[in-house]
A and B are shown apart, each in its own frame.
Chain A
């Protein structure tokens, strides 16, 4: 298990907290929370040694969607594709007016 921490300088405020995903094998859960501070990503991952890969996946995500949020990720060995999918799903949840 490894804990990772990233910061991003993004400014698009989000309206509400959202949660998607499950900490199942090859999967992860993602929580977005609104914040007025710097965007922060805290990751707990079961697969050690992938800090650089996480950094790349997150940078691509924030380049495209510069949301300002406090993000928590609990990961149980998901691939970069799955990580990107869950992050995008969380964005979808934000749009969902329910």
Chain B
């Protein structure tokens, strides 16, 4: 195709958008900043790790283009690639704070987390989301989804947070790819061989019809550049993750007894009138809720027996001046895909509503209320209607709410007595600035189940398990997770189900210590600053940050 943008590689894409002779690449292929995690898994690396950072000008205005190479490992985000994006966007933030306007533009061509570096991918993506939220106070953060890969997984959550999203009709946006949904929920839920169904559901046309994409452009360099120029001038912001009341109202009206088809969803979308939703604090109930580690610790930490809430899967309550929030399973939930405690549409929007409320209430207070997340999320919900409605926006809404709360000065602390997996963890956990976890074998921390990860990376489960032995970021257990350096505290000697009075006191004390340790820190930098992070866990991240710093103003 003549002048096609989609056909270009990441570097050519960045160059094609910039004014002639203004481009300068930051940490390029000659800097030798290669992922150390791929070769040990027999995967050929790329010298730029699939991320192109290009400073330059568009019609005289300063920009940074972050261009993700969709053809290298599906545009997956690992440690080096993620750190490149985060470090460069933090530089742009610093420049804008100093009055030097630079517009960040992100070309999303990505499957999300790079499964071969899973836990690094999740950490990095949460850090990208955090800096995007901070940047939006100064400049619009423009997203472009050209295709062929589209924007999936954790990076679809990032896409939902961006100010303005431009796409060609060769793109798709979704949290879970059809193959993963089929793997996790069965072929009846989503048939990954039905290409028409996939494009009708996740394709740009449908996404624009329900405001999940702001503008559709032709696949040509000129028309894409023109729409970016217009957007820089107009500074539009879709506020996509702030429509919490609208979506909660929509979910109220959803008929879950029949399978949702696209036409009836679009009619529903058009007809919904947003009404205010406030999720009240959990109260003592008569009936025991569905058992989970998250529920157990929430009830013990808040002293609310059989905690119940109008949104049965989202519990929150104030105790000792802190706000506790948990996402819990409900075996009788009307949404079938969240019955095991997964984070779905209602969970994402309800948590966002709660956190936004807390931030609003404390707006004028000098000392902001700490928010403690009880984390036990086995994954995000895998379902067809979840994708059609836009579960990535639900998860983006809660991630954005937590990030805003932390940036406003609320201590955001994770207590992890259960699983912390994938999109569920991005939505409820990874925006915290201190993480406390129990050292219990039953805890899973990862980006994808073994069955799905094996299918997507085209390996056998045996090969995948072999890789987890050499690469801590690939592993599924909390002890390997500790090796990344992100934890504030790994608590030995308390099991996931051992919420005794004595243990509760210990955890409360640790939460207080974590809050005290913040000392005004509202960032996510703690993760790079622990001894483990510095000596091994985030060595490459720190090297990337140093290089970006050195090359930024050269």
Residues 317-348 of B, flagged 1 when their CB comes within 8 A of A and 0 if not, give 00000000000000000000000000000000
How near does chain A come to B308, taking the closest CB pair, in angstroms? 52
Residue ranges of B at the interface with A (Cβ–Cβ < 8 Å): 9-10, 28-30, 39, 42-47, 69, 71-72
How near does chain A come to B196, taking the closest CB pair, in angstroms? 25
Residues 24-63 of A, flagged 1 when their CB comes within 8 A of B and 0 if not, give 1101010101000000000011100000000000000000
**Residue A22, interface by CB 8 Å:** yes
Interface window among A5-13, A72-80, A81-89 = A72-80
Q: Contact between A19 and B29 (Cβ–Cβ < 8 Å)? A: yes
Q: Contact between A74 and B28 (Cβ–Cβ < 8 Å)? A: no
Q: Contact between A23 and B30 (Cβ–Cβ < 8 Å)? A: no
Partner of A22, one of B9, B28, B39, B42: B9
Partner of B39, one of A19, A25, A44, A72: A44
Q: Contact between B72 and A24 (Cβ–Cβ < 8 Å)? A: yes
If A19-B29, A44-B44 are given as contacts, then 17 extra A-B residue pairs at C-beta distance below 8 Å, sorted by A number, are: A1-B44, A17-B30, A19-B28, A22-B46, A22-B69, A22-B72, A23-B46, A24-B72, A29-B29, A31-B30, A44-B39, A44-B45, A45-B44, A74-B44, A74-B46, A74-B47, A76-B44
Alpha-carbon separation in the docked complex, A22 to B9 (Å) = 8
Chain A residues lying within 8 Å of B69, measured Cβ to Cβ, are 22, 24
Partner of B45, one of A24, A27, A74: A74
Alpha-carbon separation in the docked complex, A93 to B269 (Å) = 53
How near does chain A come to B34, taking the closest CB pair, in angstroms? 9
Known pairs A1-B39, A44-B39; A23 contacts B44 (CB<8 A)? yes
Chain B residues lying within 8 Å of A75, measured Cβ to Cβ, are 44
Chain B residues lying within 8 Å of A27, measured Cβ to Cβ, are 71
Residue ranges of A at the interface with B (Cβ–Cβ < 8 Å): 1, 17, 19, 22-25, 27, 29, 31, 33, 44-46, 72, 74-76
Alpha-carbon separation in the docked complex, A38 to B29 (Å) = 22
Chain B residues lying within 8 Å of A24, measured Cβ to Cβ, are 9, 69, 71-72
Which A-chain residue is minimally distant from B72 (CB atoms)?
A: A23
How near does chain A come to B159, taking the closest CB pair, in angstroms? 22
Chain A residues lying within 8 Å of B71, measured Cβ to Cβ, are 22-25, 27
Number of A-B contacts defined by CB within 8 Å = 46
Q: Contact between A46 and B44 (Cβ–Cβ < 8 Å)? A: yes
Max chain A Cβ within 10 angstroms of own Cβ: one of B10, B28, B43, B72: B72
A-B contacts, 11 listed (Cβ < 8 Å): A1-B39, A17-B30, A19-B30, A22-B71, A23-B44, A23-B46, A24-B9, A27-B71, A33-B30, A44-B44, A75-B44
Partner of A31, one of B10, B43, B47: B47
How near does chain B come to A43, taking the closest CB pair, in angstroms? 10
Alpha-carbon separation in the docked complex, A75 to B47 (Å) = 11
**What 10 A-B pairs have minimum CB-CB distances, sorted nearest first?**
A24-B71, A1-B42, A23-B46, A19-B29, A46-B44, A22-B9, A23-B72, A17-B30, A44-B44, A74-B44
Partner of B47, one of A25, A29, A46, A76: A29
Q: Contact between B43 and A1 (Cβ–Cβ < 8 Å)? A: yes
How near does chain B come to A33, taking the closest CB pair, in angstroms? 8
How near does chain B come to A98, taking the closest CB pair, in angstroms? 9
How near does chain A come to B74, taking the closest CB pair, in angstroms? 10
Alpha-carbon separation in the docked complex, A74 to B38 (Å) = 12
Alpha-carbon separation in the docked complex, A77 to B43 (Å) = 12
Alpha-carbon separation in the docked complex, A60 to B10 (Å) = 31
Chain A residues lying within 8 Å of B39, measured Cβ to Cβ, are 1, 44
Alpha-carbon separation in the docked complex, A75 to B9 (Å) = 16
Chain B residues lying within 8 Å of A25, measured Cβ to Cβ, are 71
How near does chain B come to A18, taking the closest CB pair, in angstroms? 8
